[in-house]
Structure 1
Amino acid sequence: MLSNLRKPGVLRQDVLASLVVFLVALPLCVGVAVASGVPAELGLITGIVGGLVVGAMPGSVMQVSGPAAGLTVLVFEAVREFGLGGLGLIVLGTGLLQLALGFARFGRWFRAISVSVVHGMLAGIGLILIFGQLYTMAGLKQPREGLEKIAGIPGLIADVVTSRAALTASAVGLATIAVLVLWKKLPAKVQLVPAPLAAVALATAVAALAGLNVPNVEVKGLSGAIQPPSLNDLSSLGSGALLGTIVIFTLIASAETLFSAAAVDRMHDGPGTHYDKELLAQGVGNTVCGLLGALPMTAVIVRSSANVAAGAKTQLSRILHGAWLLLFVVALPAAIGLIPLAALAGVLVHAGCKLIPVQQFGPLWRKHRGELAILVITAVGIVVTSMFEGVMIGLLLSVVKSAWSTSKVHVGVTELADGSILVRLTGNATFLRLPHILDSLEALPKDRSIELDRSELRHLDHACRSALEAWAARHNDAGTEPVRLRDAPPAAPAGETAERSEPLARI
């Protein structure tokens, strides 16, 4: 990195890029924390650690880490169930597990997770985030469950229409969303200011100048917000629910980070990501965040793409963005308390919409409808049940679909000149295809001699082998014409030539 900084203009580019990333990260760190049900400062602490600690570590050069909207729902549920101390313990466990996986060189294997499951996971999170933040945007308390949030929308609309306070707060949130959507249509010079910062700043200024009575972010200061895990929290480590939450945090945070890395690598022509090292860096970051009782971190595509677009050349830009966040928290903490909650909710509703991969629906429907089904079922599963159960459903369906797709078998039936029937099986014969195979065999005439050729099968699992032999035995015991089985000949010993003897065995 130091050698690159000696090149003309590189230091200037990195400093300017760090300021852009800082301005993007600031409202998102605060918004994710508030939506997660924790003090706003905890989101900023995670952003600071993501810059100063993870930013200085090897792995990815351009990727920026911090609190992510994709973990908001899971964090909210964890805080509700285990408390802030329990959250710190979960994040600490996540970091340690990521370190173990990184040292074991598991980073590359996270790329094997079905993309449809990841997209479905993000879509489910996006839906819960959208429907939950609509209540916050109106200044109302959101229901606990995903289905309750959706079912309560008509009541929410009625409250907004009949309550002046709810209507005012909603107007602030909707105006924030409008700024975010329309910002890309403004001149390029105006777009030098990041859209999230502009939207939140405008909403804050309008609310303050107009004297609007809307709820604002509560500020405690760093010392008051930090709550490291206590000895009492450690006693809950034996809880199956807590350990399961750590595993799902690790799965989602690692998958989101490494998928983000693959996307960021396509945005620049610099060094690519070393996945195992990046997983180790995330593990260190989450371990530090856990010890501080802060939010979990992942690599975040919004900040990372802003870093690349701003012309960053080295890791210095992401390190400096953490330094700017720390300086802001220390020098201007009161400024956070001026931000309307409705504005942050608007930012997160917009972020939730972007989590839903609408652009993937068309291509998947035309070419890969099975993958689209996995995506939709995963998303619905998360909304209806929970994050963990929804993701597990998606992973299970992905494995089943893969097994079904690879276990294709063809049953070829040929009538020979002597009147016997040759049945040749080709492909992969697994238990998933047993109904098809047995239906074909049981439809054969009972008064013919049958030869069942299994020699061309690429794979024959134990269940399928047992079922075929049982069918042949039943057929012979019935007193009908015999069934003969043909398998591939055994391999010849070294130095000998295999002679193909008659491969027929009477059952």
Structure 2
Amino acid sequence: MGTDTKSHSTPTERTLASVTRHDLPASLVVSLVAVPLSLGVAVASGAPLVAGLVAGVIGGVVAGLLGGSAVQVSGPAAGLSLVVAELVATYGWRATCMITLLAGTLQLLLGMSRVARAALAVSPAVVHGMLAGVGAVIALAQLHVVLGGEPQRSAVENLIELPGQIADNHSHAVFAGLLTIGVLVGWTRLPRRLRVVPAPLVALLAASTTAVLLGWNVTRVDLSSSLSEWAAPIWPEGDWHGIVAAVVLVALLAAVESLLCTVATDKQRGGRSDLDRELTAQGVANMVSGALGGLPVAGVIVRSTTNVRAGARSRWSAVLHGLWILAFAVCLGWTITLIPMEALAALLVFIGVQMVNLGHLRNLRGHGEIPVYVVTMAGVVLLGLAEGVLLGLGLAALSALRRLTRITARARLETDGRWHVLIGGSLTFLGVPRITSELHAVPAGAAVELDLNIDFMDNAAFEAIHSWRQDHERGGGTVDIDEIHDEWYAMAASGARVFPVKPPPRAPDRWWLPWAHRGRERRAAADAPVRRAPGEDGPAAPGGQAREEGGSARARRERGGSGLAVPVRRVPGEDGGAGGTDGTGGADGDRGAAPTAHGRRDGLPVPELLAGAREFHRRTAPLVRPFLHAMARKQEPAHLFITCADSRVVPNLITSSGPGDLFTVRNIGNLVPRRGGSPPDDSVTAAIEYATGALNVRTITVCGHSGCGAMAALLSGGEKAAGLPALGRWLRHGNHSLARFVSSESDGADDGPLDRLCRINVIQQLENLRTHPSVDELVGQGRLELVGLYFDIATARVHVLRQPPVTPSAL
């Protein structure tokens, strides 16, 4: 009999097994990448080589243990090498270590303040442009070393001196650098299964081995001098303004690079890291690294990506990678002295070129942010890191301001002689020239329809529009202003208080989508609050009020103070029970009772209706409430709209109308019984009389639709209405349409007899309307118009039907 040892293992044993299986191999791979990169960054920073190894160990162990990301790997970052090199040249190495320590303290305070996500507000175009500029500076400087020379003081000087450096005579050291670059480039072309060992390690091994075997005269790494130079950090001397700026610059650059690396790593592996914890850990790591004479620490995307691809599952991979670096420095440090400096310089050239990422350019191009990237990169190369970043941030801010204030302004002459002007966007003083230009294109005395589709309007924009409107109306013109969203203009014109800031955008209204196509969570009907009728739980005291209950905790949360609850009044005895005390209709409180007359066991409306009512309260009610309030005492529709009861026909949707526009009558087949016809019907007649006599509508529209079930029943000779006697009697009002269909010729449309009958039926109902005296009299006087519409469901097109013949005319 076998035993299941896995089920009896402890959490510690399972963690140890996962670390051994996944994190240990991944840490070895990452350390093989980290050692040469740490040495290269130290060289580019002008720091002792051991400082790169110290930062690699501290970044792995400290940031790995304390960080908010499970798989991010920290260490010395190439993106910081340029600023570190400037600090070393200005203040010296020991003072730079103190600046690193102070920068870590600032990061720690920022992390504890929980403001890490604010770093993500920096435009990626600025960050990528900065890294590309740093990469270009590194590549230009180290290319001189590869060619056997010395880097100049600036990137511009390095670029100017490069042709002369190439033309000079070169020693064997140049071949070491070129061999390193060749291996780095060629290694990426090999199949993935052959690239088990990281390319930087292979390149340095190849260059070092070749130099030793061939006896090349090269400058080798001197690790002993780096160790002998170690000393405790000291306070930097000089202008304290510059020192504070240096601390802030190192802290912010390292923080932004680390947090962006965290976000990128999360995208690769899934999940979400704790950014505040990560920033705190980076601060502690920089404090320790600075105190021990290491470089500034940050999250490194190359190491983190390698870690994820190597199969790391937890933070122990980063921690172990730091320990592997420490073991290498202690046990195999002598091998570092075999590496030619030209090989390290070649590695830095390769890294610098890779920092100019074409993939970032493609992504930024789609968002129109290439100028920010180019300006930042050029600023870093030509002016310096801080100057380039500030230029990029400034341009990014201007670009964002331009996008936020971008407006749409368009004036055109319509076929009816009226001018239609559309202005949309956020209207500020920056858009006034564009607005006035379009408005003054309208000739004096013209009738103008001005649509304002705006989400903000400042005083300058209001004054521009209002002044133009007053001048235009004084000149004999008319201006009809329609504000599609918030009534910024109307509020300002009335003297009401206007919001001083742009309100948050509302989610797009999706009421027109069928329930089945909405991504809305289906809430159970039991989640709705239930309002019981007085006396439902037993005899009600006189004047007793209904009390509100709410089944689930979520229903109570939704109801509490939100105003979104949909109260449901339960009719006494509705459950058909014997009057149970819990209102369920069962003496024993059995909730599995038989369904009610409405087809639901609990007597509640279907969940879709409740969810729709909640959505109406949340989104639509605040928008339509002012209009409904104004028309609460009286309706003044201009149109009587007679259409089919088919669920696919939504009158307000297909006519883009709102509350108060349509007086609607819906029945099966959009039929209008003839005056004095048989069987008699007063329902539609009453609506017609009220619409024409009391509401004084200007038009009566009959709207049919394709695939009408009532017309299909007429074509079947009543077979489809068998067993439905009331429906059969009602469909007799369609016999005139059927007779007209039989006697008429095809209208040429290739959509079958059913849809032809649907169109003919609309024309017949218009004639039936003329049998009503009030309608016939008003039409004869020219005070009422009859309109026939046909809605093609499949194409979502509304057609006007003209008589005779019955041919559709697309709107």
Taking structure 1 as the reference length, the TM-score comes to 0.84
Q: Report the counterpart of residue 702 of structure 2 in structure 1.
A: none
Q: Distance in 2 between matches of 1:452 and 1:86?
A: 69
5+ long unaligned stretches in structure 2:
1-9, 482-488, 498-621, 632-811
Alpha-carbon contact 2:48-2:226 (below 8 Å) kept: no
My pick for the range that moved more, 48-57 or 139-148, is 139-148
In the TM superposition, residue 169 of structure 1 has moved relative to its aligned partner by: 2.0
Q: Please tell me whether residue 276 in structure 1 is matched to residue 282 in structure 2.
A: no
Displacement of 1:21 in angstroms is: 1.6
The change in CA–CA distance for 1:450 and 1:170 in structure 2 (over 3 A counts) is: farther
Q: CA contact under 8 A between 2:29 and 2:310: conserved in structure 1?
A: yes
Distance in 1 (CA, whole Å) between partners of 2:424 and 2:308 is 51
Match of 2:103 in 1: 94
Counterpart Cα distance in 2 of 1:150 and 1:176: 22
Aligned partner of residue 53 in structure 1, secondary structure: helix
SS in 1 for 2:92: helix
- Corresponding residue for residue 32 of structure 2: 23
Name the stretch that deviates more: 388-397 or 460-469: 460-469
Counterpart residue identity of residue 321, structure 1: H
Partner in structure 2 of residue 348 of structure 1: 348
Residues in 2 aligned to 1:217 and 1:403: alpha-carbon distance in whole angstroms = 51
| Identical pairs, percent | 37
What amino acid is aligned across from residue 164 of structure 1 in structure 2?
H
CA RMSD of aligned residues (A): 3.4
Quote how far apart the aligned CAs of 1:383 are: 0.9
CA–CA separation in structure 2 for the residues paired with 1:372 and 1:148: 26
Secondary structure, aligned partner of 1:298: strand
Distance 1:456 1:302 in 2: 47
Question: Once the 2 structures are TM-superposed, how far is the Cα of residue 393 of structure 1 from its aligned partner?
Answer: 1.4
Letter in 1 for 2:233: P
Do the aligned partners of residues 224 and 457 (structure 1) sit closer, same or farther apart at CA in structure 2, a change above 3 Å counting? same
- 1:288 alignment partner, SS class: helix
1:145 maps to a residue whose letter is: S
Q: Could you tell me which residue of structure 1 aligns to residue 289 of structure 2?
A: 289
1:351-390 correspondence to structure 2 within 5 Å: 351-362=351-362, 364-365=364-365, 367-368=366-367, 370-390=368-388
Structure 1 residues 324 and 2, CA, compared in 2 at 3 Å: closer, same or farther? farther
Verify: 1:56 aligned to 2:65, yes or no.
Answer: yes
Shift of 1:275: 1.2
The residue type paired with residue 278 of structure 2 is E
Q: Could you tell me how far apart the structure 1 residues matched to 2:134 and 2:72 are? A: 22
Pair 343,412 (structure 1): closer, same or farther in 2 beyond 3 Å: closer
Q: Is 1:182 aligned to 2:186, yes or no? A: yes
Q: Secondary structure at the match of 1:428?
A: strand
Kept after mapping to 2: 8 A contact 1:456/1:488: no
Whether the aligned pair in 1 keeps the contact of 2:410 and 2:438 (CA below 8 Å) is no
Q: Give yes or no for the alignment of 1:144 onto 2:153.
A: yes
Note closer, same or farther for the CA distance 1:108–1:140 as it changes in structure 2 (3 Å cut).
Answer: same
Is the Cα–Cα contact under 8 Å of residues 54 and 293 in structure 2 kept in the other structure? no
Instruction: Report the Cα offset of residue 400 of structure 1.
Output: 1.5
CA spacing shift, 1:148–1:442, aligned 2, 3 Å: farther
Aligned position for 1:103: 112
Structure 2 matches for 1:145-224, cutoff 5 A? 145-159=154-168, 163-165=169-171, 168-186=172-190, 190-220=194-224, 223-224=227-228
- What SS is found at the alignment partner of 1:285? helix
> SS in structure 2 opposite 1:214?
coil
Equivalent residues of 1:50, 1:64 under 8 A apart:
yes
Q: Note if contact 1:39-1:220 (Cα within 8 Å) is conserved in structure 2.
A: no
Preserved CA contact (<8 Å) 2:180 2:203: yes
Q: Do 2:50 and 2:227's aligned partners in 1 also have CA atoms closer than 8 Å?
A: no
The 1:459/1:41 distance shift into structure 2, 3 A limit, reads same
In 2, the alpha carbon distance for the partners of 1:299 and 1:61 equals 12
Given that residues 177 and 345 in structure 2 are in contact (C-alpha distance below 8 angstroms), is that contact kept between their aligned partners in structure 1?
yes
2:398 is matched with which residue: 390, 396, 400?
400
Counterpart code for 2:490: A
- Once residues 208 and 295 of structure 1 are traced to their aligned partners in structure 2, the CA distance between those partners, rounded to angstroms, is 30
1:325 corresponds to which letter in structure 2? I
* Cα distance in structure 1, aligned partners of 2:45 and 2:39: 10
2:69 partner SS:
coil
Change beyond 3 A, Cα 1:66–1:5: farther
Q: Report the count of equivalent residues.
A: 484
How many Å apart are 1:249 and its aligned residue? 2.2
Deviation, 1:462, is 4.6
Q: Which one has more relative contact order, counting CA pairs under 8 Å at least 6 apart?
A: 1
Q: Which amino acid aligns with 1:194?
A: P
- Distance change >3 Å, CA 401–CA 51, structure 1 → 2: same
Change in Cα spacing, 1:217 to 1:436, as seen in structure 2 (3 Å) is same
CA contact under 8 A between 1:88 and 1:294: conserved in structure 2?
A: yes
Residue in 2 that maps onto 1:433: 431
Aligned positions of 1:315-326 closer than 5 A: 315-326=315-326
Please identify the structure whose Cα radius of gyration is greater: 2
**Distance 1:221-1:328 versus aligned 2 partners, 3 A rule:** farther
Structure 1 residues 272 and 440 mapped into 2: Cα distance closer, same or farther (>3 Å)?
closer
What amino acid maps onto 2:357 in structure 1? P
Shift of 1:45: 0.5
Question: TM-score normalised to the size of structure 2?
Answer: 0.54
Question: Could you say which residue in structure 1 is the equivalent of 2:246?
Answer: 245
Q: Which amino acid aligns with 1:334?
A: W
